[in-house]
Structure 1
Amino acid sequence: MRSLLQIMKDHIRNFYLIIRLSVFELKSSSNNLYLGMLWEVINPLILIGIYWFVFGMGIRGGEEVEGIEYFPWMLSGIIVWFFISQALLQGSKSIYSRIRIISKMNFPMSVIPSFVITSRFYQHLILLGITIIILAFSGYTPTVYSFQLLYFMAANFAFLISISLITSTLATIIRDIQMVVQSVVRVLLYLTPILWTTDKLPAAIRGVLKVNPIYYIVEGYRSALLGTNWYFIDHFLYTAYFWGLVLALLLIGSVLHMKFSQRFVDLL
């Protein structure tokens, strides 16, 4: 618990620095491109079109999902996946890929995964705005349920930071961890009901799939954007499980980071 409290203090003290570094990270990632940061939107939109054509029109034949057209249903889930996948990949290599430069600066290394994740969050906000406009034209205008989107953004951030504290620490010690993370992220796209539904699966298998915390976040985003229900209230036990898991991951990540952070430079 002491390690977690220390990392929380580091984040509070360096909040302004995290924001500045995240903006710099976003700009530097697209400096050499003619269209610059536009690619942060263009690439996801291309993938959305491909996924809709293959899964919506091809595999499902335009079939609705619980009375909701496939495209709005898929869109409301895939936008959060773009953020999660990039944050997991970039967060896992955030420390070892910058440690030679950052080790010469005077701020805690625990904030490195956080500003990297925050830099991906800006893209997420733009895509979210585009999604809300598209859904409005499709008949899914914002409702009172839309307010829970703020909650699920915060929940998503907490989950990503907790995971990245673990993976960024382990990947600095054992570089193979980065390859493991890449493989797991590829698999998670198809183990999470983002492009497909679980309605034809047995109840036991659906329960196993819900062990995946990304399932909770994706379904929460859908409930908010499509205006179906208060997901975090109607699924209270699932909410309790999610936050219990996030807290456990934060504790593990904090202990690992505080134990090895002083040795990071020596491991290079």
Structure 2
Amino acid sequence: MTLQSLKYRTLTPEGRKQTKEDFRIFFQLVDNDLKSRYSGSAFGIIWAYIQPLVTIMVFWYVYQVGFRNAPVDDVEFILWFIAAFIPWTFFSDGTVTAANVMYEYSYLVKKMRFKVWQLPFIKVFSSLRIHVFFVVFLTGMYMLYGHAPDWTWLNTLYYSFYICVLLVGNAFLTSSLTVFIKDASQLINIVMQIGFWLTPIFWSDTTMNPTVLRILKLNPMYYATTGYRYALINHTWFWQRSPLQTIYYWVAAAAILAIGSLVYRHLKEHFTDLL
């Protein structure tokens, strides 16, 4: 969109009307995207919430009831676990579903007037809707276990935004590459499985060898998962973390976004020929 067209939309009634229509269509696509994932099932979109909840319940029963794991960081194991598991689920779901978005919406990609760059955002917002529910569920679990709400819990919004930036960059990159490399989506699934264990979900800094920990901290999702724990357990604001660490992770997120956008811009003109 050029600066002139942006001014037109901002200053004229016709432009504002068109912008509102674009937003309406976008959020309608987000809504339809969630419904289409489970269109053939009896419970429909409810499965998007049931599956992670069942996973959490299984971990709760196995580790809290069965193995009776000791508290971690002075909180019950299940609370410590889900504080990192829920942001990881958001990141993993958004990354995996975005990889095939060009194929899934190939009929829109081939439409000359459709803004194809919106498709990765549709997948990110679709995953974000589910994540909002689980953030509410997460805070509810903490209150259920007797933890009083604290203003620092609002940090979850900040870290969710950080994950969104990562997801948009990933979505542009993976969705573009998948058009040319059909097996890319399978590789992404494998990377997510490995990434689960490289992210501090089942482990903490104190359980890791210092040398190994320095390597694992290069993982951009380290910042988000530990951030949720800092907010909910340690009541630490994001600006109270190491400034150098914060700068590194935001530079990494910006780099992923820039690379993803660059790859998309260079490959988009070939999408219609390959889909």
Aligned counterparts of 2:109 and 2:77: Cα–Cα separation in 1: 45
- Label 1:57 to 1:187 Cα distance change in 2 as closer, same or farther (>3 A): farther
The change in CA–CA distance for 1:212 and 1:236 in structure 2 (over 3 A counts) is same
Matched, 1:100 2:102: no
Do 1:22 and 1:115's aligned partners in 2 also have CA atoms closer than 8 Å?
yes
2:60 to 45, 52, 65: 52
Q: Over residues 17-65 of structure 1, what are the superposed CA-to-partner deviations in whole Å (9 max), with x where a residue is unaligned? A: 3322111111222333222222222111110122234455566x41121
- Show CA shifts across 1:200-225 (max 9, x none): 22222111111111111111122223
Q: State the alpha-carbon separation in 1 of the partners of residues 87 and 164 from structure 2.
A: 11
1:148-227 equivalent positions in 2, closer than 5 A: 148-227=155-234
Structure 1 stretch displaced more, 97-106 or 35-44: 97-106
User: What is the rounded CA distance, in whole Å, between the counterparts of 2:243 and 2:79 in structure 1?
Assistant: 25
Q: What amino acid is the match of 1:97? A: E
Aligned pairs for 1:67-146 within 5 A: 67-104=74-111, 106-146=113-153
Q: CA deviation at 1:15?
A: 4.5
In structure 2, do the counterparts of structure 1 residues 55 and 186 end up closer, same or farther at CA, with 3 Å as the change threshold?
farther
- Give structure 2 stretches of 5+ with no counterpart: 1-18
Counterpart pick for 2:25 among 17, 21, 29: 17
Answer whether contact 1:219 1:231 (CA < 8 A) is retained.
Answer: no
Structure of higher CA gyration radius: 2
Partner of 1:32 in structure 2?
A: 40
Deviates more, 1:102-111 or 1:18-27: 102-111
What is the identity, as a one-letter code, of the residue corresponding to 1:42?
I
Aligned-pair CA distance for 1:249: 1.3
Aligned to 1:243: 250
The secondary structure found in structure 2 opposite 1:81 is helix
- Going from structure 1 to structure 2, the CA distance change for 1:12 and 1:167 (only over 3 Å counts) comes to farther
Q: Count matched residues.
A: 257
Off by >4 Å, runs of 4+ in structure 1: 11-16, 55-59
Q: What's the secondary structure of 2:117's corresponding residue?
A: helix
Q: TM-score, normalised by structure 1?
A: 0.88
Alpha carbons 2:109, 2:272 under 8 Å: kept: no
Change over 3 Å in CA distance of 1:55–1:226 after alignment to 2 = same
1:100/1:265 contact within 8 Å kept: no
Structure 1: unaligned runs, 5 residues or longer:
1-10
Over aligned residue pairs, what C-alpha RMSD do you find?
A: 2.2
Q: What code does the residue aligned with 1:21 have? A: L
Task: State how far apart, in whole Å, the 2-side matches of 1:14 and 1:214 are.
Answer: 32
Shift of 1:13: 9.9
Report the TM-score, using the length of structure 2 for normalisation.
0.86
Contact in 2 for aligned 1:26/1:119 (Cα 8 Å): yes
